[in-house]
Amino acid sequence: MTVTITRRIPPQRLIDAINPVVRGLAGSRLHGLVDDQVLILHVTGRRTGRRYDIPVGFADLGDELLVVTQHRWRTNLRGGSDVTVTHHGRTTPMTAVVTEEPAAVAATLARAVERIGRAQAQRRFGLTLPDGYGPEDLEAAVREYALATITLRTP
């Protein structure tokens, strides 16, 4: 039986309006207002060399952080990339590995759901995970929404 997994994220205009505020809070003494939900990923553009400060939701999996995105900026991280992350008021160097192959992304998401629980995964990844969904449903959602995972580890 096929179950439909949907993606629920705020409209891009709202995200664009709020991101400067989130970036400011994350780097200030008020960082506690956003730390449990968001980190700032500092990425250098491969062609331009320009630095991008991108607020992203994440899941803390213990030994690594997991980000799910559909945005094209992820191409800057292909092949593994050194990045910095601002979280809990501190900036930390990390290694980012982007995964874009749908079956591998779905498998990573399935492991994350198992680790953090379905309710937490739904909040962190912007997905609705209805009762009875299976691996094929998760992979279908990854394909439909062009999702990728970014795994962040300390070097």
Q: Whole-angstrom Cα distance, residue 138 to residue 73?
A: 23
Q: Which domain holds residue 94?
A: 6-153
**Is 1 a domain residue?**
no
pLDDT digits (tens, 9 = 90+) for 63-94: 999 999 999 999 999 988 999 998 888 889 99
Give residue 35's pLDDT.
Answer: 63
**Is 36 a domain residue?**
yes
Query: What does the mean pLDDT of the chain come to?
Result: 90
pLDDT band (50, 70, 90) for residue 1? low
Q: Between these two residues, 23 and 138, which has the higher pLDDT value? A: 138
Is the separation of the CB atoms in 73 and 65 below 8 Å? no
CATH for 98: 2.30.110.10
0.75 exceeded by pTM:
yes
Overall number of domains in the chain? 1
Angle at 125 between CA 57 and CA 146, to 5 degrees: 105
**Is 124 a domain residue?**
yes
